[in-house]
């Protein structure tokens, strides 16, 4: 029986690849894509989601959600993803639009419709998820799991302390991490093990398909930024890790820890504080990704993206 998921995203190069993986995987039933501001503003992230759907020839419904954080001022990652949020490839013009329903209402509706079955897969700011939990608290025990890309058990990438997705809306993240829903966190400490090196990018291009070529172009743009900024040979495909975990959990080593969010402004604003040694004695609230079989991860991506014609 496929796992019912809602992919909550802010496309974004790695979001786009995560969506490609999800929609190509028979292990998953994608109920819908819910879109949030993040890498760029909501108008662009929704257009990017529509363009990716058009490229894939999918009929998955897409819903627009929050356009700003709960409390803080909005930040963006145009410096990483470009002005459009998906710089690099030429994507088709969408022929279908967004669904009229708000993303938050869709999340609530689907969780109530399928109690205990729906996995939420947020790969951007957690604002949509937090709003759903606040608007309808009864959904918390009905959500099967939240598998997210965000945070880190050690370093940040948008501040010395914080990862971008969590820093976008620390107050939303605090709500989600405190809701009592089973959590799995794919943080930077895990995702940085998946660099898209030139040889790996070439394997996508060698598929010889339009989607394979777009994937290669997305990864090449992403790779060049990370090479110029950090001197890295390849860029991590952060968001695809969350989807891959649901499809092939055996590729991942994880541990159970207590994770809290720092939502007070200061040097640690937006930090995911992981009690790795259980110093506090607080019961764990989050499964945390520690290691990934990177060769198995790329084999899975290539296999599934290779199914698009």
For residue 207, the model assigns a pLDDT of 97
The answer to whether 21 and 10 are in contact (CB under 8 A) is no
Return d(Cα 83, Cα 16) in angstroms, integer: 16
For residue 223, the model assigns a pLDDT of 85
- Domain housing 147: 3-305
Q: Give DSSP secondary structure letters for 64-107.
A: E--SS-SSSPP---HHHH-SSSS-SS--PPPSS---SS-HHHHH
CA atoms within 13 A on the CB side of 200: 23
The answer to whether 4 and 31 are in contact (CB under 8 A) is yes
At 102-128, the pLDDT tens digits run 999 999 999 999 999 999 999 999 999
For residue 106, the model assigns a pLDDT of 99
Catalytic residue IDs: 10
At 277-302, the pLDDT tens digits run 999 999 999 999 999 999 999 999 99
At 61-93, the pLDDT tens digits run 999 999 999 999 999 888 778 788 898 899 999
Burial class from Cβ neighbours inside 10 Å (0-12, 13-18, 19+) for residue 256 reads middle
Residue 191: CATH number of its domain: 3.90.245.10
The answer to whether 26 and 14 are in contact (CB under 8 A) is no
For residue 224, the model assigns a pLDDT of 82
Considering only CA atoms, give the Rg of the chain. 18
At 132-155, the pLDDT tens digits run 999 999 999 999 999 999 999 999
The answer to whether 163 and 117 are in contact (CB under 8 A) is no
At 206-246, the pLDDT tens digits run 999 999 999 999 999 888 878 877 888 889 999 999 999 99
Q: What is the total count of domains within the chain?
A: 1
At 244-282, the pLDDT tens digits run 999 999 999 999 999 999 999 999 999 999 999 999 999
At 165-209, the pLDDT tens digits run 999 999 999 999 999 999 999 999 999 999 999 999 999 999 999
Return d(Cα 130, Cα 119) in angstroms, integer: 15
For residue 80, the model assigns a pLDDT of 77
For residue 253, the model assigns a pLDDT of 99
For residue 9, the model assigns a pLDDT of 98
For residue 39, pLDDT over 80 is answered with: yes
Query: Tokens 């989050």 identify what position?
Result: 286
């Amino acid at each position: 029986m496929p796992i019912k998921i809602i992919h909550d995203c802010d496309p974004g190069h790695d979001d786009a690849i995560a969506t490609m993986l999800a929609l190509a995987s028979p292990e998953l039933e994608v109920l819908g894509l819910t879109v949030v501001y993040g890498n760029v503003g909501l108008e662009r992230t929704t257009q990017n989601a529509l363009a990716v759907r058009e490229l894939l020839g999918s009929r998955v419904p897409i819903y627009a959600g929050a356009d700003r954080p709960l409390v803080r001022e909005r930040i963006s990652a145009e410096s990483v993803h470009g002005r459009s949020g998906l710089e690099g490839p030429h994507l088709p013009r969408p022929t279908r639009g967004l669904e009229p329903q708000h993303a938050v209402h869709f999340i609530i509706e689907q969780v109530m419709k399928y109690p205990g079955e729906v996995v939420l897969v947020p790969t951007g700011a957690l604002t949509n998820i937090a709003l759903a939990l606040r608007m309808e608290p009864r959904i918390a025990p009905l959500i099967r799991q939240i598998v997210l890309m965000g945070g880190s058990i050690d370093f940040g990438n948008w501040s010395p302390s914080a990862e971008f997705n969590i820093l976008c809306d620390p107050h939303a993240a605090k709500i989600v991490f405190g809701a009592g829903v089973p959590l799995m966190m794919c943080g930077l400490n895990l995702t940085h093990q998946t660099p898209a090196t030139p040889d790996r990018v070439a394997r996508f291009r060698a598929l010889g398909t339009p989607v394979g070529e777009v994937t290669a172009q997305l990864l090449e743009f992403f790779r060049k930024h990370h090479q110029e900024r950090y001197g890295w040979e390849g860029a991590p495909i952060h968001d695809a890790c969350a989807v891959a975990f649901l499809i092939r959990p055996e590729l991942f080593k994880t541990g159970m820890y207590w994770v809290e969010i720092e939502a007070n402004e200061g040097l640690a604003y937006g930090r995911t504080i992981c009690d790795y040694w259980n110093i506090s004695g607080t019961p764990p609230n989050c499964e945390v990704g520690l290691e990934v079989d990177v060769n198995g991860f790329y084999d899975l991506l290539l296999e599934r993206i290779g199914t698009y014609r």
